[in-house]
Chain A
Amino acid sequence: MKDLVVPTENLQGFASVAEALTTKPERLDRMGLIFGKWGLGKTTALEWFFANHPCFYVRSMAAWQRSANMMVEDILAAYRVEARGRLKLDVRELVRVVKKHGVPLFIDEADRVVRRAILIETVRDVHDLSRVPIILIAQEDVMALLGRRDMGHILSRITEKYEFRELSVRDIQRVAPALCGLAVGEKVGPFIRKVCLGDFRLLNAFLLRAEELCSYNKTSEITASIAKTAAEAVIGPAERAREPEAERPEAQRAALAAAG
């Protein structure tokens, strides 16, 4: 199996948010939001984007919630600028340095930032004064936080957003040929999606087994019978013995039952 980052719909959505914000005129608001459940590849997408495009990245820390100083110091450190230790001066310096570089700033785990008014207001100040795109990456519940009445002015500045979703059948049909050179038919695609629950890690386990089986059968397409056998790798025979049937996710059980 090849080791590649495959451009799934999520990855394309991520890149399109950043690109749209970068190319928007400066006079418009350029805050972005990327959110979704854990395990859907937000961090991998961020790593890929950071490695291949000019941008800055900072990961928010739980300790930021105690004071804005730490957040400002950490963002300055990402730009390799030493903080002076006085919030007023540091915020001014941050605005200057962000404006100087003029490339997007990503804030990962931004739920923590949104939860504290002083932090999100400081981020808003930096955005308004530097006119540089700032993209927040957060868990799915961030929309509930931003939907509050007192967050209206922040939400109105978020002009691009993208929600990470589980892998689609099209994604699976794109990933399998790219990683293993195996075609996935229209009938088998939905089965694989159900078995893997749209999760990339489970799909990897599935494809590893499917690749072995396809090579053994000298075929370049994942057929229904190969998919059914490879699905065992996803659920794990050893795990099945330990876990009662009732605890297995509903979608997986239904897919296996349908496959006989």
Chain B
Amino acid sequence: MPEGITQKVRETANDLGEFTMDHLEETIPVKTLKELRAARNAIRRLIRNNEILPAGPDRYRYQAAMRELSKRARMWRAMRIKGTFTQKDIMRLTGASRPHVKKYVRYLRRQGLVEAVAGQDYVRGLYRLKDPDNAPLEHPKVVGEA
């Protein structure tokens, strides 16, 4: 799970403030050698993306950057902030294509996270999150595709 380990690296670097690379590698909560390798790759990625910046000789600091979200993450976030929405709203806010929005809404309905309020079609079909207060922060991944 590259995103998972990258997030761990981000959190650890953020908690440390300023750090040396050795200190960062020691502090990241990893259990296996494979995870450590993935963490080292993640560190390299974060340096490339200017999220880990030099802060003196052999010292680095974490600098949060505006990260790109996946289309599904955007759609899920748009649904969370709208609460009640049409497929058109989600397309407008995220720039996702119409079939992509339709497919994801259908998947979320099957998962019981979204329910139809009125209508069915693209413009008038109104949907809402079933339990907005407890809707997960991370977007539900489509099983078999993610």
Contacts and interface: CB of A to CB of B under 8 A. Distances in A.
Interface in B20-34: none
Q: How large is the interface on B (under 10, 10 to 19, 20 to 34, 35 or more residues)?
A: 20 to 34
Contact of B92 (A4, A46, A100): A4
Given A47-B93, A52-B94, A19 B66 contact: yes
A50 interface: yes
A50 B63 CA distance: 20
A53 interface: yes
Contacts of B64: 22-23, 102-103
Contacts of A53: 66-67, 69
Contacts of A99: 14-15
Contact of B81 (A19, A23, A47, A102): A47
Contacts, number: 59
Given A19-B66, A103-B64, A48 B93 contact: yes
Contact of A3 (B77, B81, B82, B92): B92
Contacts of A23: 63-66
A203 to B, nearest CB: 16
Nearest to B86: A3
A51 interface: yes
A57 B66 contact: no
A128 B74 CA distance: 29
B14 to A, nearest CB: 5
Nearest to A47: B81
Report whether over half of chain B's contact residues are helix, strand or loop; otherwise say mixed.
helix
Interface string B84-100: 00001001111100000
Given A3-B88, A3-B92, A25-B63, A52 B74 contact: yes
A214 B119 CA distance: 32
Contacts of B74: 51-52
B104 to A, nearest CB: 13
A151 interface: no
B102 to A, nearest CB: 14
A51 B78 CA distance: 5
B66 A51 contact: no
A256 interface: no
Interface of A: 3-5, 18-19, 22-23, 25-26, 46-48, 50-54, 57, 77, 79-80, 99-100, 102-103
Interface of B: 10-11, 14-15, 17, 63-67, 69, 74-75, 77-78, 81-82, 88, 91-95, 133-134, 136-137
Closest 5 pairs (CB-CB, A-B): A51-B78, A51-B93, A3-B92, A51-B77, A50-B81
